[in-house]
A and B are shown apart, each in its own frame.
Chain A
């Protein structure tokens, strides 16, 4: 017998099927093997593609060589520093601005015009200014990442605060927490935390895309290393760094989920 959950969260038992015996997890692993096997076969059967796409079997050796040369660690370290700085600054400012605009109708009204103008401009469009202001430095890359992350967090926080049950504000007032600080700390922040965290998580993913883009113009890191490899037609190295990004993304997402479990235990 297998216990299953339906979409309402109710659990019930039913007879095990082949699907239950195999477990979704092992099926996921199977899927990865089929994908890699198919790729390997396709690349080997078509010899003219050798310059355009590496075979999976080349990757481990290329990866090991990159690590031995010290390039991999250097690139990861440098990208991580851009990533962490950009995500930290962008998320903090985005959440702060979003929460303030959500709590105060005045701030929301004053900001709305500026938001309308600035919001459609993608982070990458700031590259010329990033280079002018900060040069080809880590700060420039972090700046571009921060802008991309800022907007995601801003809108997530703003709509999370605006969606709060108005009656809860009345509860705060009835029990002596009607001031701005009381409403902010007793109601707005905790009530909006799930929405804010959802925005933060989206930002964590988006930021990795911005890392590559922000480094394409020469700030050292994963993106820069990828561009070098591509210009030398070292496609195996390109794949190594693609996988590196997937790996780093998974690590940050898993770390995030562990942290979230503590922050919003009440929802789970």
Chain B
């Protein structure tokens, strides 16, 4: 399979007041076309920072980011779904989805059909004229997903998109996301601190933890379709928990 995005020995140090804090250290991540990868780690580990580096929003202080995707007219290679949706409250659903399309040189007809297609993928066509504050948390998150899908990215980055939702909404959105993934053949890097969610959604799980954060291991999940819980998923969850535990002992040891 073709590798479309790669982090090679990436380190990231940020200024925090007068100090420089090392957040990421020697991170290697490889994403192949069409796969669904989950990135798990405790909160504050540096998962969002890793996405920012991949997205090109911050430059890594060491290492290299390689994105192997051709520039195509009317598309953006990578799109990001934010944690609390981060919709623009002064735009209706339709123009929120249009945000990434502005400046791509699309005709208004093309733009409208892209918006309609994206909203259709997330089953939100009926809410096209609503303001964000008139939507439920789950609907807002679906608009955030539609906004990212509208630019037809090859690589979709998702930063704990369902973290703030109730369990029922979350599980139905997880199933919707899998449907969208199957229908669009995107490559997805899905950040979460929920191990069960990672096992249910992903083909491959990368564990990030420690200070500074490193990739502590990678796990392959069972063949699809995935079930929410059985002996195998319990065992895998235990393994991942153990890996996270190891690295937290490592932190204590380092201190």
The chain A residues found within 8 Å of chain B, CB to CB, are: 165, 167-168, 170-171, 173-177, 182, 186-187, 190-191, 193, 264, 266-267
CB-based nearest B residue for A178: B57
Q: Once the chains bind, are A266 and B89 in contact (CB under 8 Å)?
A: yes
Segment with Cβ contacts to A, from B5-13, B78-86, B112-120? B78-86
Query: Is B100 on the interface with A (CB-CB < 8 A)?
Result: yes
Bound-complex Cα distance A227 to B102 (A): 57
Q: Once the chains bind, are B90 and A175 in contact (CB under 8 Å)?
A: no
Q: A174-B55, A177-B103 are in contact. Are A193 and B90 (CB under 8 A)?
A: yes
Query: Is B151 on the interface with A (CB-CB < 8 A)?
Result: yes
Residues of chain A with a CB closer than 8 A to B89's CB = 266-267
Q: A186-B99, A266-B91, A266-B131 are in contact. Are A176 and B86 (CB under 8 A)?
A: no
Q: Of B57, B79, B102, which is within 8 A of A173 by CB?
A: B57
Q: Once the chains bind, are A170 and B57 in contact (CB under 8 Å)?
A: yes
Q: Once the chains bind, are A175 and B76 in contact (CB under 8 Å)?
A: yes
Query: Is B251 on the interface with A (CB-CB < 8 A)?
Result: no
Query: Is B88 on the interface with A (CB-CB < 8 A)?
Result: yes
Q: Once the chains bind, are A176 and B76 in contact (CB under 8 Å)?
A: yes
Q: Of B55, B90, B103, B147, which is within 8 A of A190 by CB?
A: B90
Q: 8 Å CB contacts to A: which residues of B65-95? A: 76, 79-80, 82, 86, 88-92
Q: Once the chains bind, are A175 and B88 in contact (CB under 8 Å)?
A: no
Residues of chain A with a CB closer than 8 A to B76's CB = 175-176
Bound-complex Cα distance A264 to B90 (A): 7
Interface string of B43-64 (1 = CB under 8 A from A): 0000000000001010000000
Q: Once the chains bind, are B82 and A167 in contact (CB under 8 Å)?
A: yes
The chain B residues found within 8 Å of chain A, CB to CB, are: 55, 57, 76, 79-80, 82, 86, 88-92, 99-100, 102-104, 131, 133, 147, 151
26 A-B residue pairs with CB within 8 Å: A167-B86, A168-B86, A168-B88, A170-B57, A171-B82, A171-B88, A171-B99, A174-B80, A175-B76, A175-B79, A175-B147, A175-B151, A176-B100, A176-B102, A176-B103, A177-B102, A177-B103, A186-B88, A190-B88, A190-B90, A191-B90, A193-B90, A266-B89, A266-B91, A266-B133, A267-B90
Q: Which of A170, A171, A193, A264 has the most CB of B within 10 A?
A: A171
Bound-complex Cα distance A165 to B79 (A): 20
Q: Of B91, B92, B100, B131, which is within 8 A of A175 by CB?
A: B100
CB-based nearest B residue for A265: B131
Given contacts A167-B86, A170-B82, A177-B102, 10 further A-B contacts (CB under 8 A): A170-B57, A171-B88, A174-B80, A175-B99, A175-B147, A176-B103, A176-B104, A177-B103, A186-B102, A266-B131
**Could you tell me the distance in whole angstroms from the C-beta of A44 to the nearest C-beta in chain B?**
55
Bound-complex Cα distance A120 to B191 (A): 51
Q: Which of A175, A264, A267 has the most CB of B within 10 A?
A: A175
**Could you tell me the distance in whole angstroms from the C-beta of B80 to the nearest C-beta in chain A?**
5
Q: Of A174, A187, A264, which is within 8 A of B88 by CB?
A: A187
The 10 closest A-B pairs by CB, nearest first: A175-B100, A190-B90, A174-B80, A266-B90, A175-B99, A171-B86, A266-B131, A167-B86, A176-B103, A173-B57
